[in-house]
Structures are given as C-alpha cells and as structure tokens.
Structure 1
Amino acid sequence: MKKLLILAAGLALSLRGFSQNEPVKSFPDKQVVRPYRVEVTFTKTVHILFPAAVTYVDLGSTDLIAGKADGAENVVRIKAAVRNFSGETNFSVITADGCFYSFNATYSAEPGQLNIEMEDWLHKDPYSDFANDRMYIRLDELGNETPLVVNRIMHTIYERNAREIRTVGSKHFGVQAWLKGVYIHNDLMFLHTSFRNFTRVPFDIDFIRFRIADKNVAKRTALQETFIKPVRVYNELARIGAKKTVRSVYAFGKITIPDDKVLVMEIYESNGGRHQSFRIENPELVNARFVDELKIK
C-alpha cells in the first residue's frame, strides 16, 4: 500500500511538472480584436458616435459608468465613476449592424479626446483590408451570414448598377421609380431600385414601405395584405433632389408569393402628393439572379 502511495505521489508530481513546462498557446492575430484606447475622467463625459444603433454595452469594472445618450441610438456616453482610478479597464460595444468594438480605458484629468466618431468601415469600403480584420456578430435576421458578406453583396449590386428588369416601375407627377434587379443569396433576397426626379422641386421622402397584397381585389372584398421590412438598406434615402437620380438596395429574408399575390413598393412624399408605387409579381422573384454570378469576393 505504501509503495502505491509513493508511486501515485510521484506520478502527480511528474504530471504537474509536465503541465508547467507545456508551452502556452496564443491566439493568432486574426482572431484577436484589438482595442481602441480611450481616456476618461470624473468631471467630463466622453461621447462616442457609432455608425449604427448601439444594442449592447458591457463595462469591465465599476470604475466606469456608461449608457446610450438620451434620444440618440448610436451614441454612447462614458465617464469615470471614481476619481483617479489606477490602472486600466475596458468596455465593449455591439451595434445593430453586427459590428463589435473593444476599448481600453484609462483615467486622465484632461482627456485628449472628448468626442469620437467611429469609422464606418462596413459601408465605406467593405472590401478593404481593414474591414477584413474586423469582428462581426452573426445575426438571425441576416440568415446566419456575417454583416460583412451582406454588405459586400449590396455594395457590389449598387456599384455594378445593371438593369436586369425593364418592365417594373411607375412614373407620375414628374417622378419615376423602378425596379432594376432582383438577386438571391441563400435565404436573403436583394431588390435594386432607382428613383428619378424630373422636376425642379425636391422630393422629400416621408417613408418607403413594402407589402404583399392580392393581385386582383374584387369590389366589396376585404383587402388581404402583409407588410414586410427590409433587414438592411444600402444607401437609404431621405430626399430625391431636383433633376436627380438616386438608387438603393434593399435586403429581405427570402420572399416567396403565390401567383395571385404581388409585392408592392410604395414611396410616400412628405407634405406632398407625388406618391409612387409599383408591383413586383412572382416571376420577377422566382427568377432572381444568383449573387454568385456577380463574383462577390
């Protein structure tokens, strides 16, 4: 029995020595989210502006207090909760477009930067090396695709600017709206639209909406319709200037409709009556082009 105890003790010591001498694994650079450095203080507030609405803020310690600015979904205000805290702490932010931001915070009586605007790398140039190095959160609404992939698709459709469809649109009151193309990638569908204002009066957009409605509605029959919202918009519009042409790309979850239904796009003018609408029928949707054909990187 004594021999067994001695052998067990020896084995335990040898295993402990093995674990201590075993090399420690480190993460490769591409798997590490490198933090931004921010100085905070007790008597002043630092405001950080993000390209999209903030959905999550986590603080590394009670040395910090933070929250979204009142009435502004994309602004985080942060300051020191105690004077002259020592060392370094951190905080993290996730935005609605799926981007993840990491910050290291240190105390400074006079921070060098009180108002910071984060670069919109996701939309500015989704093919840049910087965008490749960022971390993104996978969102259910994007069909398990990363925000970077979705934005690359929309960016490519927009820059390519092809007119695949020529028969769907409307033109009234000197304003024209039309559908240029429909594309599909896995469980996401993309609509490329264009708007042109032939008049000298700007068209201020009140809202744009999409609904699935009956193709033919008989008199005295209740209208059956369902409103759907895009999960992403590339180049979202607020105004169509005088004599201007503008375009947008809308991303939706996969859309399928029976032959007796249509997808209706409606564009309403703010404080005006030059509203536009057009109907997209089932053949345009089921014959959507594969995004792979666009050679997305």
Structure 2
Amino acid sequence: MIKNSIKNLICGIFLFSSASSFAQTEISEKRVSELTNLEISKGISLHIISPEPIQFVDLSTNNLTGDLPAENIARIKITEVSESDSIAAKQNIDLNDLGVITIVCQSFMVQYKVNYLNFKRDAVTNIQIQPEDMQPLEYPKLAFSNTELQKFSLDILRKKMVNKPIREVKSLKQTMQINNVYVVNDYIFLDMTFLNSTNLGYDIDAIKFSVEDKKIYKATNNQSIALNPVYQLYNQKQFKKNYRNIYVFKKFTYPNSKVMKIRLLEEQLSGRAIEMTVKYSDILNADTF
C-alpha cells in the first residue's frame, strides 16, 4: 500500500504541475499494439532520458512505479511486493503486460508498452527517447522548449562580437557588459560578458535581474520586482578572466520611471559586486535573428 501511495502521489504531482502548462493539438491516434515495446526486469531500474525537461509522467498500472531523479530523466521499475503482502497482491502483477508509460515533455509526448524480461543480464538500464516515438504538442501561446532556446543561444554565441557593447560598467577591476539584445517572438535574449582583471578568480554567488524605480526618494518607497530568466545557456559558478553567457526572459515591459538592474555578486565577503542599469530603450532597440 505504501508503494502504491507513493506512486499515486508522484503521478499526481506530475499531473498537477503540468495541467496548466501545456495543451495538445491533434495527435495521431495510436493503439497499444502500435507502441514501442520496452522490457524491464525485477530489481532493475530503467532510465528514460529525454532531450527536454519532463513535465508529466503517467504509469497506467500499479505494476510500475517511478520518479524523476533529474528534470530530463524518468526512472521506472517494477513495483516491489514485500513478503508481508498478500498472495493475491503478488499475483496481481501481469508479467506479460506491465502497462503503458506516458511521458509528456515541453514540445512532445511519447508512450511505451512495457513487458516483463525474465533475464536480468539482458535488461536495458537506460534508453534515449527517439524522434520516431515523439508525438508533437502545441502550446496555447507560441513557446519555445529549452532545446530550442539552447539552439538560439548558441546561434548568438556564433555571431561576430560587436566592437562596442551596448552597456558597460567597471568596478574593482571587474567589468560587466551587455554585448547585444535580441528578440525572438516573445523572448528577450541578453548576450552578456563578465571580465575579471585581477589574478584572483571570481566565485559567482548570483546574477540578479530586477526592475526598480529610477529615482528613490525614500528607501521604504523603492519597489523592486525580480526578473527570473526562463533559461540561461551556462550555469558556471566560477571564472578566471572572462565569462560570457546568454540569459533568456519572457517578454517584459517597464515605464520610463523604472530601470532594469543587473547585479553580479561574489560568494565570499570580498565586496566584489558590480551593478548595471539598463534603460528600456536598450530593450526596445533589440535585434532580431
């Protein structure tokens, strides 16, 4: 019962978290007999690796249980039955047909029919989701998957660097630059470079983005709204001399009375922090590609 409760809880969480995030258009009808077959042995976990973050997993029977050890990996195994459980519960597992696994990602879904494999030595422990098994999904508003955002970000890195950055600030031999701003549909891409002119490496605590009042008359009246990137190309935490990254935001606007603030903060109490102010005109003049 505990195992089944955990399984139902996991599936419920997956369903709740994804219910408001995706909507599917017409998906070609598929029968169970047409699904790709997977084989699982008792005591062996099968890891299904997705090219995109997984939004939702459904296990059609109590024969299977699973979790998400990483955002793009679903771990599935045969439900274990303890010796204290009834004989009827043990016999409930149909070894020839363990059920169907449905995995929904950002831009596609995939389904597998699971069969029992008696020989552990022949068991497969991980598989990659293949394009031929994917059924495309469409969102209510045009949204890019992390894979697509990664492609756009890499395309930006391949572009020739401009001679002069759009914005640049220097402090304590640290430099922060906005090389360029790009817009693709409802996404804003900030191409940024951080330079360290010292021989002491820089340990990044955080890079914070916010929209704040341009003029602050009283500290208590300052309104700061955090802006969180929906994607960033690299998650590097330390750099020696230079660090370039792409930060992606869903479309945002702010009035002339406010500015965008970008802060680079170091982990240690070294005081090496640097802050940049970005005008809205810099966003409005963004390039397209």
Q: Which amino acid aligns with 1:258?
A: P
| Deviating more after overlay: 248-257 vs 167-176 | 167-176
Report what 2:238 is aligned to. 239
- Which consecutive unaligned segments of at least 5 residues does structure 1 have? 1-26, 29-33, 120-129
Asked if 1:43 corresponds to 2:43, the answer is: yes
1:210-258 CA deviation, whole Å, 9 max, x = no partner? 1001122235562111111112222233222x23x22222221212222
The alpha carbon displacement at 1:84 in A equals 6.8
Q: What's the TM-score once normalised by structure 1's chain length? A: 0.68
- 1:74-153 alignment runs, 5 A limit: 74-81=72-79, 85-87=95-97, 89-95=99-105, 97-98=106-107, 100-109=109-118, 110=120, 112=122, 115-116=125-126, 118=128, 137-139=137-139, 143-147=141-145, 149-153=148-152
1:242-282 CA deviation, whole Å, 9 max, x = no partner? 23x22222221212222221111112212243222211101
Among the aligned pairs, what percent are the same residue? 22
Asked if 1:260 corresponds to 2:269, the answer is: no
Q: Which amino acid aligns with 2:78?
A: A
- Indicate conservation of the 8 Å contact 1:213/1:224, yes or no: yes
Distance 1:113 1:204, change over 3 A: farther
Q: What's the TM-score once normalised by structure 2's chain length? A: 0.69
1:160-193 CA deviation, whole Å, 9 max, x = no partner? 1533862413223333221111112232221111
The alpha carbon displacement at 1:286 in A equals 1.2
- Indicate conservation of the 8 Å contact 1:40/1:111, yes or no: no
The alpha carbon displacement at 1:83 in A equals 6.1
Report what 1:65 is aligned to. 65
The alpha carbon displacement at 1:63 in A equals 2.8
Asked if 1:223 corresponds to 2:233, the answer is: no
Q: Distance in 2 between matches of 1:187 and 1:164?
A: 27
Q: How many pairs does the alignment contain?
A: 243
Q: Which amino acid aligns with 1:285?
A: I
1:127-151 CA deviation, whole Å, 9 max, x = no partner? xxx87995554456xx523425544
The alpha carbon displacement at 1:156 in A equals 1.5
> SS in structure 2 opposite 1:236?
coil
Q: Distance in 2 between matches of 1:79 and 1:218?
A: 60
The alpha carbon displacement at 1:114 in A equals 5.7
Report what 1:283 is aligned to. 281
Report what 2:23 is aligned to. none
| Deviating more after overlay: 191-200 vs 85-94 | 85-94
Report what 1:171 is aligned to. 170
- Indicate conservation of the 8 Å contact 1:184/1:288, yes or no: yes
- Indicate conservation of the 8 Å contact 2:102/2:111, yes or no: yes
The alpha carbon displacement at 1:283 in A equals 1.2
Distance 1:220 1:251, change over 3 A: closer
The alpha carbon displacement at 1:36 in A equals 6.4
Q: Distance in 2 between matches of 1:184 and 1:132?
A: 32
- Which consecutive unaligned segments of at least 5 residues does structure 2 have? 1-27, 80-91
Distance 1:74 1:194, change over 3 A: same
1:32-71 CA deviation, whole Å, 9 max, x = no partner? xx976543122233344556653311124333222234xx
Q: Which amino acid aligns with 1:247?
A: R
Distance 1:146 1:132, change over 3 A: farther
Q: CA RMSD in A?
A: 3.4
- 1:152-191 alignment runs, 5 A limit: 152-163=151-162, 166-191=165-190
Q: Distance in 2 between matches of 1:189 and 1:114?
A: 41
- Indicate conservation of the 8 Å contact 2:36/2:133, yes or no: no
Look at both structures and tell me which one has the larger radius of gyration over its CA atoms. 1
Q: Distance in 1 between matches of 2:168 and 2:277?
A: 7
